[in-house]
Structure 1
Amino acid sequence: MGYDSRFLHWKKIEIIQMNRKRILLLLHYSLNTQHTDSTLFSSLSENDWFKLMRIAGQQSVLGLCLDALDKLKSNGAMPPRNVLIKWIGSVMTLEKEYERQKVFIKELASFFSKHGLKMVLMKGYGLSKLYPIPKHRGSGDLDVYFCGKGQYADELIKERGIEVKQNEEKHSVYSINGFHVENHASMICEQEHLSLLKVEEFLKDDLERNLHLDEESGCWLPSTMFNVVFLPLHFAGHFVYGGANLRQIVDYALVVKNANLNSDTNQIDWEKVKALAIEGGYFKFLCCLNGICMDHIGIPSDCFPDWPRYKDIEERILAEILNPTSVDVHSLPSKIKRYFKNRWKYQLVYSKENHLMGFLLRIRSWVNWKYGKKSVWNRK
């Protein structure tokens, strides 16, 4: 590699690192009230701002980052007008989709309620209520759970002439009015990850005992403890197998922050959380997630327990999320290559499992649901 090539290589790395700092600062500013340092934004070109906007979109934090721009305004570090107009337009689209999904959630919850079912909504809309501007979280798939009555819920959907598919071991899927719904039989892929069996038991038990009704939508929402246990594992699965983003970190961060602000009603039993994480083999990963929330999202350290820090791993996790080494992997050979290339992630999240055995279990699961006749409602 010649001098010019080396220079361009290191220049590219420098730009990536600076954009990483900027996007994390925007998230920090959007969720906190402290003084804003605009130094990293004052000399950005129009093209630089477009790149930053694109990264925010890829990380599903476009709305949050727009909120942060107001705090830069007084320091003269706003993006050019045409960038700002496009950014605002994109967020307005998110807002409209959010409102449309909220109407759909209310209609679907009402439908199931008429048949005696409580529709539990995980992630998504329930978490958006913790955001400074809920509709700026954006919306995606609906993850629902019916506390042991998921098969009946599927039958009700089929009676409406809607096709229900079973293509993954933890949920069935269907689409209504452009909305993709995942009806969960389990919270996590515990049949692929045997170390998580007790975590799965805890999550299901908590959903049976600690739901609360959201009057606005008519759906039922899980407890803070459920979210504190479930969200890191959901994020971890995406981190290992692809598709992790900053919004998943922010979701967890805001659950913890909100629990601290409302300690009379929302308690986190950190000892229980720790015991489950140690049992499941992902305690070090959870420590890293807490550290990222403190150092980069701006959640006060007193919201978290005094657990070990692994700053080098935290930085590696963030680097992988913002600049993943494997993207757009569709073919089976490419997926296999990615799986073994990312074994450091697997060992961090599923430390009690053998990587090769995990690969074989995942292949078995994929074959079962691609070609088999199994039902997600028959767990045996």
Structure 2
Amino acid sequence: MRNRLKDIFFQLLRIGLWGKGQLVLTKPMTADDWDTIRAYAANHTVDGIIYDSFPFLEENQLPPLVLRLKWAARIDQIERRNEKMNQVIAEQFVLFSKIGLKPILLKGQGIAASYRIPSHRSCGDIDWYFDDNGYAEARKYLKENAVKFRDTAGFSLDYEWGNIDTEHHKKIFDIRSPFKLSYLRMLKDHYKQQEQMLSIGNESIRLLAPELQLLQVNGHILKHMISFGIGLRQICDSARLYHTTHTTINKEDLQNMYTKSGIIDWMHLLHKILVEYLGLPIDEIPFPYPNNLDAEWMMNEIWYSGNFGFHDERFEDGKIINAISSLPDGPKRLWKNFNRYFRFAPQEVFFFTLVHSYSRFIGKDSD
């Protein structure tokens, strides 16, 4: 994408994300320009956010009518999937609670609730964590009731429920250093009384405390950036969470969490991107980042990698080695990202491969 269109893309993203602002154009956009914008929006799964900028545009700035109609049809699909996902979440929560489990909803719809229009956030899968060794009990229930599931790397399992992908996780946080495990367990216990409740389908669904939700979401972003990359939707998630919680979170505690988890230097990079590219007000960042920090290179990685690295045009002709990854040039991409991020989160980069390999080949559950 040319620099001019990239600038327009981010203008539209900021307008849709915050519900304010004006689009500034040096010359009118063509139908081809809008096709390019739409393709990148799809690659980064921010179709709905860009669409939400349209009410703030001048009539002569809007996409051609045919494209607007196609875009509206896509938004209808997103809304329907969100509605279906909420139905499944409520159904699963009731079921799990009925059999004595204590589920907590991670990411997903808990983040969507922080958006201006939650139903326009493209949803992925449902992620559950269970208190008190509930992961094993939930797995046992699935097996006894002939629900086909797959044990996966990362100490998780997944299955399909009502055409919605669902994952169960043994661990809340995507912090892989074994030296941080006891600290992370302590955090979970310490913030238990600050857990949030989200109403979905007339059910009160448990969410993590805001500080832990931010640690969990941002740690998840880092995990994917260390591997094959991540798209703008997840970066928007972080921005919206900060926006809706900045007046209530304990900012000093959150800074200590990032520091003790070993990711504080990387968090500075992320915070600068949230402010300079996504338009998050700087006073909504919980603590200042260094003035001379260069985050442009990381923004470029986000821009090119797209949704979990699936659309990175730099590697589209690369060789696929399935033993390592189904993505082109998997080993090369991993090595480059290890080198990029080691200085900002050394323990996470070092232990990512070790823990991922262990969980893939040794740590999976088996019967």
What TM-score, normalized by structure 2, do the two folds share? 0.86
Give 1 or 2 for the bigger CA radius of gyration. Answer: 1
| Contact 2:158/2:167 (<8 A) preserved | yes
Equivalent residue number for residue 3 of structure 1: none
Q: Does 1:141 align with 2:125?
A: yes
1:295 to 272, 276, 283: 276
The residue correspondences of 1:1-380 to structure 2 (distance < 5 A) are 15-39=1-25, 42-74=27-59, 76-148=60-132, 149-190=134-175, 192-198=176-182, 200-205=184-189, 208-217=192-201, 218=203, 219-260=205-246, 263=247, 267-309=248-290, 313-324=294-305, 327=315, 330-331=320-321, 332=323, 334-352=329-347, 355=350, 358-368=352-362, 374-375=364-365
In the alignment, the residues of structure 2 paired with residue 29 and residue 354 of structure 1 have an alpha-carbon distance, to the nearest angstrom, of 35
Q: Deviations over 1:93-150 (max 9, x none)?
A: 1111111111111111111122222321111111111111110002111110111212
Q: Distance in 2 between matches of 1:365 and 1:228?
A: 25
Would you say the 8 A contact 2:114–2:244 is kept in 1?
A: yes
Q: CA deviation at 1:164?
A: 2.7
Alpha carbons 2:255, 2:287 under 8 Å: kept: no
Q: Distance in 1 between matches of 2:130 and 2:214?
A: 20
In structure 2, give the amino acid aligned to 1:53.
R
SS at structure 2 position matched to 1:135: helix
Structure 1 equivalent of residue 308 of structure 2: none
TM-score by length of 1: 0.83
CA distance, structure 1, for counterparts of residue 343 and residue 75 of structure 2? 35
Could you tell me how far 1:178 is from its partner in structure 2?
1.6
SS where residue 158 of structure 2 aligns?
strand
Residue of structure 2 in register with 1:8 after alignment: none
Structure 1 pair 107/349, CA: closer, same or farther in 2 (3 Å)?
farther
Q: Which runs of 4+ in 1 moved over 4 A?
A: 325-330
Q: Is the 8 A contact 1:203 1:230 kept in 2?
A: no
Pick closer, same or farther for the CA change 1:164–1:79 going to 2, 3 Å.
Answer: same
- Deviation, 1:327, is 4.9
Letter in 1 for 2:74: S
The Cα offsets for residues 132-173 of structure 1, whole Å up to 9 and x where unpaired, read as 111000211111011121211222222321023222232122
Distance apart, 1:20 and its partner CA: 2.7
Is 2:272–2:295's contact at 8 Å kept on the other side of the alignment?
A: yes
C-alpha root-mean-square deviation of aligned residues, in Å? 2.6
Kindly indicate whether the alpha-carbon contact (under 8 Å) linking 2:153 and 2:356 is maintained by their aligned counterparts in 1. no
Alignment deviations for residues 219-273 of structure 1 (CA, whole Å, 9 cap, x no partner): 212221111211111111111112411111111111111113xx3xxx3222222
- Total equivalences in the alignment: 350
Secondary structure of 2:53's aligned partner: helix
Q: Hey, which of these two has a bigger chunk of helix by percent?
A: 1
Closer, same or farther: CA 306–156 of 1 in aligned 2, 3 Å = closer
Shift of 1:278: 2.2
Secondary structure of residue in 2 paired with 1:39: coil
TM-aligned CA deviation for residue 33 of structure 1: 4.7
For structure 1, which runs of at least 5 residues remain unmatched after alignment? 1-14
Any stretches of 5+ residues in structure 2 without a counterpart? 306-311
Give the secondary structure class of the aligned counterpart of 1:44: coil
Q: 2: CA distance between counterparts of 1:354 and 1:90?
A: 37
Paired residue secondary structure (1:214)? strand
Shift of the 147–233 alpha-carbon distance from structure 1 to 2, 3 Å rule, reads same
SS class of match (1:183):
strand
- Deviation larger for 285-294 or 59-68: 285-294
Deviations 1:35-58 (A, max 9, x none): 403315x52221111111111111
Displacement of 1:351 in angstroms is 2.1
Q: Distance in 2 between matches of 1:27 and 1:124?
A: 20
What's the secondary structure of 1:28's corresponding residue? helix
